[in-house]
Amino acid sequence: MNKNEEPIYRVIFLNQGQVYEMYAKQIYQSDLWGFLEIEEFIFGERTQMVVDPSEERLKSQFEGVNRSFIPMHSVIRIDEVERLGIAKITEAKGTGNIMPFPMPPLPTK
């Protein structure tokens, strides 16, 4: 990455049993204790006819959001990357031997 370019960050975090992978230009510790602030979300531009439904879902979910506050215990990983990837949502798989931080139960239908 060139030193004159703004860094791009890939943030991976848990949200209600799903893993969100998003890209942003600004990430820092919040004044709200225990939260991470994410600003300036980046979504890939559509240059192809193929549309990724997961990325479109994220776009609509975060449309109009200037800043998002993510609890620190939900963050899995933050990377500074050279290129923008595809934002996506995947199901969290509990196949490891690590107990996740307790979350409130999901409402039943």
What pLDDT does residue 102 have?
64
Per-residue confidence in pLDDT tens, the chain, 109 aa: 566 678 899 999 998 888 889 999 999 998 889 999 999 888 776 555 556 676 777 777 778 888 999 999 889 999 999 888 888 888 777 656 665 666 666 666 6
What pLDDT does residue 48 have?
A: 54
State the pLDDT at residue 37.
Answer: 93
**Helix (H) or strand (E) run with residue 55 in it:** helix 53-61
**What is the pTM (predicted TM-score) of this model?**
0.71
Supply the pLDDT for residue 38.
92
Cβ(89)–Cβ(22) below 8 Å? no
CA distances from 68 to 24, 46, 65, 83, 108 (A): 11, 24, 7, 22, 26
